[in-house]
A = this chain, B = another copy of it.
């Protein structure tokens, strides 16, 4: 049973490459849970400091602005980890983490988390690399939010999701587009505005929607839009 748990943990990128004995000992100190869609795993401002591994499912990280509106900081898909900020700086939780699907999570105590993060060199290095990615993505997202119109914010967000080195003359598919609610809180607006902005981009022939896939038909046209802002 614990072997299965260790194998589950080994799929989390932060823990891949760890020696089997370390994974097995980590699995023994983990608390494993299934949570339903909508369940709040971490409450913003809480002083809890457990460290989490998302083994299956998807979560959103949520903050509130000063007007009490939810804003999404990120959407995370399994397998991944979350909750390291409070472990590292001992401050209250910076964001709420809510399951957007049924999720399987494992968590360890703050003491075990500190030991893992600070004393296992490949984990320290990956935590730093991961935080570097978060900082770089934040800088990109800041540019998205500086766009005045919502359809331009959406265009900037979509362009930010493109893989590197695509051919801008081709149609590119963005799979698993977040639902309109998540897009609205990622882009600092309402679901209605996202719906209108999406319709605008579709009407202008820039994108085509097909279920959870969105096709960008005219990448130069989307960039053009941003230059007109």
Interchain CA distance A142-B135 in the complex, whole Å: 12
User: Which B residues are in CB contact (< 8 Å) with A121?
Assistant: 118-119
Binary interface encoding of chain A residues 42-83 relative to chain B, with 1 for a CB under 8 A from any of its CBs, else 0: 000000000000000000000101110001010000000000
Interchain CA distance A105-B188 in the complex, whole Å: 39
User: Which B residues are in CB contact (< 8 Å) with A142?
Assistant: 71, 73, 138, 141-142, 145
User: Which B residues are in CB contact (< 8 Å) with A128?
Assistant: 88, 117, 124, 127-128, 131
**10 pairs of residues in contact across A and B, judged by CB atoms under 8 Å:** A66-B156, A66-B226, A71-B142, A88-B125, A91-B132, A94-B135, A94-B139, A118-B121, A119-B121, A131-B135
Q: Report the 5 A-B pairs with minimum CB-CB distance, sorted nearest first.
A: A146-B188, A138-B138, A131-B131, A89-B132, A88-B132
Knowing that A66-B227, A94-B136, A118-B125 are A-B contacts, what are 15 other residue pairs whose CB atoms are under 8 Å apart, sorted by A's residue number?
A63-B139, A65-B143, A65-B146, A66-B156, A67-B227, A71-B143, A73-B142, A91-B132, A94-B135, A118-B121, A124-B128, A128-B131, A142-B142, A145-B145, A146-B188
Q: Which residues of A contact B (CB under 8 A)?
A: 63, 65-67, 71, 73, 84-85, 88-89, 91, 94-95, 117-119, 121, 124-125, 127-129, 131-136, 138-139, 141-143, 145-146, 156, 188, 223, 226-227, 229
